[in-house]
Amino acid sequence: MKPYNYKGYLGLVDRDEDREILHGKILGISDLVTYEAEKLPDLRQEFEAAVDDYLETCKLVGKSPQKAYSGAFNVRVGSELHRKASILAIANGLNLNEFVIEALKVATSDKPVAHVEHNHNHNITLSIKPDSEQTAWTDQDKTKLVGSFNATTYPH
């Protein structure tokens, strides 16, 4: 199920089988804000009320509410992947940040980027002349030839 979205905050939807309730928390903030309900429509209302309560509480205590997603994050990818991404970025006229943004857009898109298939046919003509004394193939000769022909396919 997709997370709830309200005022730029995302909310997790989960089920507690033991307590037979639905519950969730606001994602992407360091503060812990949770909500629960017995029915799915009620859970959405509880999520929205939790976001409103979080924003109001922050205002009351003089704290700036955290943005659910600031647009900045650190990723540790290892030196080899870092090198490869940097080379590809340069080859495409981008800096590494722009390259990562484009890669994330592709990875998170609902539309497939490309579908590649490799298809082709081989047309093979086999020309075999009949014995020098014969001027044409008989039906019996053709049957013998076809019956003894083996083809092997190799991947390429």
β-bridge mates for residue 6, sequence order: 9
Confidence of residue 149 (pLDDT cuts 50, 70, 90): very low
| Alpha-carbon gap, residue 123 to 109, rounded angstroms | 40
Read off the pLDDT of residues 55-109 as tens digits, 9 standing for 90 and up. 999 999 999 998 867 788 888 999 999 999 989 989 888 889 989 999 998 888 8
- Closest of 2, 3, 19, 22 to residue 11, by C-alpha: 3
Confidence of residue 44 (pLDDT cuts 50, 70, 90): very high
Lowest mean pLDDT, pick from 22-36, 65-79, 124-138: 124-138
pLDDT of residue 28: 86
- Where are the domains positioned within the chain? 4-61, 79-108
Residues 6 or more apart from 121 whose CB is under 8 A from it?
none
